[in-house]
Amino acid sequence: MNRFVTHLPQCARFFTLRALLYLFPGLSAAVGTLVALLMTGRITPLLAGLTVLLIVLGFGVPSAVDWIRGRYDDQVAQEALAAQRRQEWAEVAGVQLRDHFGPRGRGILPSSVRSGSYFTGRVRVLTELAAWLGDASDADARARVVTGGPGSGKSAVLGRLLWLADPLRRRGQESVSEVTATAETVPPLGVISVAVHARGRTVDEVAAEVAHALEIQESGAAGLIAALRDSWQPRPVVVLVDAVDEAADPYRLIVELLEPVASAVERTKVRLLVGTRPGGDKGLLRLFGASAVIMDLDSPANLATLPRAPMPGSSSYRACEPASIAALVRQ
């Protein structure tokens, strides 16, 4: 109550000024036109119509100007908020690239200070995924789920595809990548629209990042799914989501977001590329049902393409010395 009493004089001044702003021009126009009518001594229909028009304009123009200014201020505020959100998402994407996808895509440890690309191995799965990413016919647009045990190279494979798909992310590394990446393992440039590192993130946080990349004005999983169903104009899009098993709730992430998006690919043209551990008794993989093709890095066919001499203490996808890589390439 005391707060209301304190602000009462300020509110009174505001509304008084507003009333004067709206009424004064109209009253002035009304008085002026009436005086002009009395001075002419003769009132014609045309003169009467002009008088009414001046009075209406006198009362209407201030409120119209105020309304237009309010709309303009709202638009400016919305554009500023959108720019701020774009900046925030760009910073998030930059951090994910720097700390997660980038090092793994170049075949180095996240703690390494090396420049260049030292990735080797996983030719079979990279070839299959690059062909799937480059297939414009949508002959089999089902989601691809890259899975395997800890250290099998799931994030390395996805990071490699992301890194090779964008020339800005491999700028200055062409001479090295020419040695370590064969043509059939290189996806089309720009084919991956958004990459999300799901570790520790909720389903709505992942959905918000995907929605932003797709330019959908929704912030939650339910809103994103509804927008894809009701208002999305189908266009080819690839969404990469890694570390699904490390999300805040992996089961909810798959059931409420990833599987519905994967199931709707024929209509939306939004394809999913996912990285996750299988989960207990392959429970996470089973949640995708028939909407995904499982690519197991621990299968005998994929294990056969691993490097024969990885660095001691490193997984097969991690950094090797350049000399070791050259020897592997020659094998």
Look at the pTM and tell me if it is higher than 0.85: no
- Based on the fold, state whether residues 70 and 201 are members of the same structural domain: no
Q: What's the whole-number average pLDDT of the chain?
A: 77
- Based on the fold, state whether residues 61 and 180 are members of the same structural domain: no
* The pLDDT of residue 324: 42
Region 26-39: what's the mean pLDDT? 67
CB 263 within 8 A of CB 230: no
Name the most confidently modeled range: 8-12, 35-39, 104-108, 132-136: 132-136
- Which residue among 81, 114, 134 closes a domain? 81
Question: Which positions ≥6 away from 168 have C-beta within 8 Å?
Answer: none
* The pLDDT of residue 128: 94
* The pLDDT of residue 72: 77
- Based on the fold, state whether residues 146 and 221 are members of the same structural domain: yes
Region 218-233: what's the mean pLDDT? 91
- Based on the fold, state whether residues 160 and 116 are members of the same structural domain: yes
Full residue range of the structural domain in which residue 127 is found? 106-330
Residue 52: which of 64, 44, 63, 40 has the closest Cα?
Answer: 44
- Based on the fold, state whether residues 77 and 110 are members of the same structural domain: no
| Model confidence pLDDT, tens digit, residues 59-113 | 666 667 777 777 777 777 767 665 666 666 556 656 666 666 767 777 676 666 6
| Model confidence pLDDT, tens digit, residues 158-189 | 988 988 887 665 554 444 444 456 888 889 98
In a domain, residue 69? The reply is: yes
- Based on the fold, state whether residues 306 and 166 are members of the same structural domain: yes
How far is the C-alpha of 216 from the C-alpha of 230, rounded, in Å? 12
Does the pLDDT at position 55 exceed 90? no
- The CATH number of the domain holding residue 298 is 3.40.50.300
CA angle centred on 195, ends 191 and 197, rounded to 5°: 160
DSSP 8-state code for residue 308 = S
Q: Indicate the range of 48-57, 174-183, 300-309 predicted with least confidence.
A: 174-183
Number of domains in the chain: 2
- Which residue among 32, 66, 81 closes a domain? 81
- Based on the fold, state whether residues 69 and 119 are members of the same structural domain: no
